[in-house]
Amino acid sequence: MLTRTDIQTEMFARPGSSPVRWRISDAPVPYEKASEEMEREVAAIADGKADELVWLLEHPPLYTAGTSANAADLIQPDRFPVYATGRGGEYTYHGPGQRVVYVMLDLKRRTQDVRAYVAALEDVIIRTLDKMNVRGERREDRVGVWVRRPEKPVLPDGTVSEDKIAALGIRLRKWVSFHGLSINVDPDLSHFTGIVPCGITQYGVTSLVDLGLPVMIEDVDVLLRQAFEEVFGATESEVVQQTG
């Protein structure tokens, strides 16, 4: 079986498809509101009543539990609101300084292959980081994108320390995707200590600012859009940006 690294990650839509709508919210969006909006958009896309959508936003501080979440990994259940979600994966944190990207694509117009789609989303993240001279890497036994931290103590098995810089969790309905990915730009990394992020204890969490890059979310957005178009094709800004 091909690894995710070996999979062809370009997933352009079939000829004649409309550009993907590109939406950026300029204020934090409550999780319940975002979830309801995703449900509406996914239904419209599946019914052919709306074009595909990528929605960039931030959330207030919160934890979400994926379908594989282990209750023992919620270390501080009273720290922030906790939301059960239908995406794959375990517990993760969302909050200010983290770019959340909800990706609603109709894979019937692209490639009906879940592993290829996950690899393509990882590739978008890796390409985005590469444009900032950060080497992001995927791991076959862990979904998401990782950076090596040779300046930190080696792991017990003698390998170089690694930190997670981007998380990924998806769901499909009628072959339309929702949920998506998150990239840590400058969140409060201490907020991750209330959970075992993605159920993994032996690795840490980092951000672009933690790695020494003085970037803003708006800077990352420009590069993220470039990377997305390299993998998935054309986008088109929505005329009216959402305000949360």
Any idea which residues carry the catalytic annotation?
198
Enumerate residues 6+ apart whose C-beta is below 8 A from 221.
24, 56, 99
Tokens matching residue 137: 């890497």
Nearest to 32 by CA among 82, 71, 77: 82
Tokens at 168, concatenated: 């990924």
Strand stretches in 18-130, DSSP E: 20-24, 53-57, 62-65, 82-84, 91-94, 98-104
Report whether 182 contacts 101 (CB < 8 A): yes
| Number of Cα atoms under 13 Å in the Cβ half of residue 107 | 22
Integer Cα distance of 39 and 23 in angstroms: 16
Handedness of CA 176, 55, 30, 64 (dihedral sign): positive
